[in-house]
Structure 1
């Protein structure tokens, strides 16, 4: 069996471009910056100096903007940090293995809090954004994860991701760095789309986690956006949920041409790419899938399946993997 695991292309170049301004002083700014974020006002009177990121994707966006020296904490690392960001990441204290409590957040005295997941602002985590704002702490949330979907952008696309990176850069007074990072990512995205080479009507199953109950990519999420860009058909594109629970008999009926497996490092059932592939080969139902028999697998990191600075790398990996798959 041939297993395709394509490494991220051009990550070093991306961080070189985005990090080249990391030592540039933030421009002076007399006026505050105000944005409407997921239906709430987020205002900073001056560029934040004590930022707290509540999970890895937010952490890596801030680090890619060269803001390690303005971060007083991170939390919820789900994958090894990108190698190009590791040195910067190690300069930032880790407040919690998962989400810090509201008390831990307030004890850290942040002047800005950022997450790309709604769960970070739950009552048993950092607490509601509105409550933090009342305490003078602006709390930013990804437009793809708003408490009320109608207040944000419920369907993921790369324009929205780049707009979020730009907005965060503006809030921190590093608009030039944001522009460089977005330009580098757009160039890589365009190159990956141009290189896409998949047979007509190729169906792709995006397999995220689980063996007894497989969780797969449905509509509206990043895998759906990547499928559209690369001209392939999402095997669960008809599902209304972003990450529906599938079942193996139904997957066997759909018989995808290619399976993209998420490589997760958290150690749960069917999390790692290897455990997924081993299961697919040993399970009597899935062993008969055309993709399994032909070894048509593509591996991407689990965190790259959510909107982040890793998302373009996922497009590159899948594009390159499709071109190399056995036909």
Structure 2
């Protein structure tokens, strides 16, 4: 029998419909768990590179950032949560696209969330960012950065503003997003933001806590036969879902569930209705947030 589950965690991309091509989604809850292998990799490759600077690996490039970065701009709830997990709340000079995830983040970080300076309810404009006068902008492709909208790392470089890209959105050669396993991408970013803002110990503790809880999840009883699950974000003539580089892949894998799109080498992406039918899932996970309601998503599935 097909089981239907509901994901109520807030996801990224509050500025546009989730059915738009290339716009990213990422479950905020993903910041609360991480890969065991993270401790065995080189998540940040940080190193002092001169007076007041630190070298960090970001999307395959070695980048230099002010250390400590005292004025960090973060866009989107999941990215803000990474900065908070790294201990960088006092370093956040401004944030955007927080509203939908505010209550979820407050469950973990309390009054700290209320003190964040929100300069845009959805994704920021170039003017929003420049007015905040940050040293570094922490965003991603589909999470604020968009070539079609003219807001890119190169655009900000022209304004003498450095950027750190959400590792989940690093681009592959074919343009798809995702270049490392999602748990590794998460812990890499927590470690890097901690190093950038001078909170290495806080970041290290956050990663250790995530690893401990992930191990407990992996040790929990599992079904005799691994169930197959399909992540249903939203629907139109196609279905917006998540592949092997998205946060849902990591959560399902740790819980002993097979992602029906684990062979799709992308983060959040569109697939056909035929792909859903052919996957014959045991479970359908619905992501519960606008612009489609849960009832509308179920109705689309039944149509």
- TM, length-normalised to structure 1: 0.68
Shift in Å at residue 217 of structure 1? 2.5
Paired with 1:210 and 1:219, the residues of 2 have a C-alpha distance of 20
CA gap 1:209/1:112 in 2 versus in 1, 3 angstroms: same
What are the ranges of 5 or more consecutive residues in structure 2 without an aligned counterpart? 10-28, 33-49
Aligned residue for 2:109?
85
Q: 2:291 aligns with which of 254, 268, 272?
A: 268
Q: 1:36 aligns with which of 52, 57, 62?
A: 57
**Secondary structure of 2:95's aligned partner:** strand
Q: 1:105·1:126 contact (CA, 8 Å) conserved in 2?
A: no
Aligned residue for 2:245?
220
Paired with 2:90 and 2:266, the residues of 1 have a C-alpha distance of 38
Aligned residue for 2:225?
200
CA gap 1:126/1:185 in 2 versus in 1, 3 angstroms: farther
CA gap 1:243/1:141 in 2 versus in 1, 3 angstroms: closer
Paired with 2:95 and 2:227, the residues of 1 have a C-alpha distance of 40
Aligned residue for 2:255?
230
Q: 1:38·1:148 contact (CA, 8 Å) conserved in 2?
A: no
Shift in Å at residue 184 of structure 1? 0.7
Q: Deviations over 1:26-73 (max 9, x none)?
A: xxx954212232255532333112211122211111123332222221
Q: 1:114 aligns with which of 127, 138, 163?
A: 138
User: Does structure 1 residue 58 correspond to structure 2 residue 45?
Assistant: no
Aligned residue for 1:189?
214
Paired with 2:157 and 2:206, the residues of 1 have a C-alpha distance of 29
Q: 1:133 aligns with which of 157, 160, 167?
A: 157
- TM, length-normalised to structure 2: 0.72
Let me know the Cα RMSD of the aligned residues: 3.3
**Stretch moving more, 226-235 or 199-208:** 226-235
What are the ranges of 5 or more consecutive residues in structure 1 without an aligned counterpart? 15-28, 285-327
Paired with 1:177 and 1:142, the residues of 2 have a C-alpha distance of 19
Paired with 1:150 and 1:36, the residues of 2 have a C-alpha distance of 21
Paired with 2:166 and 2:280, the residues of 1 have a C-alpha distance of 34
Paired with 1:231 and 1:3, the residues of 2 have a C-alpha distance of 16
CA gap 1:103/1:228 in 2 versus in 1, 3 angstroms: same
Paired with 2:152 and 2:248, the residues of 1 have a C-alpha distance of 29
Which structure's CA Rg is the greater one? Answer: 1
Structure having greater relative contact order (Cα 8 Å, sep ≥ 6): 2
Shift in Å at residue 86 of structure 1? 4.8
Aligned residue for 2:185?
160
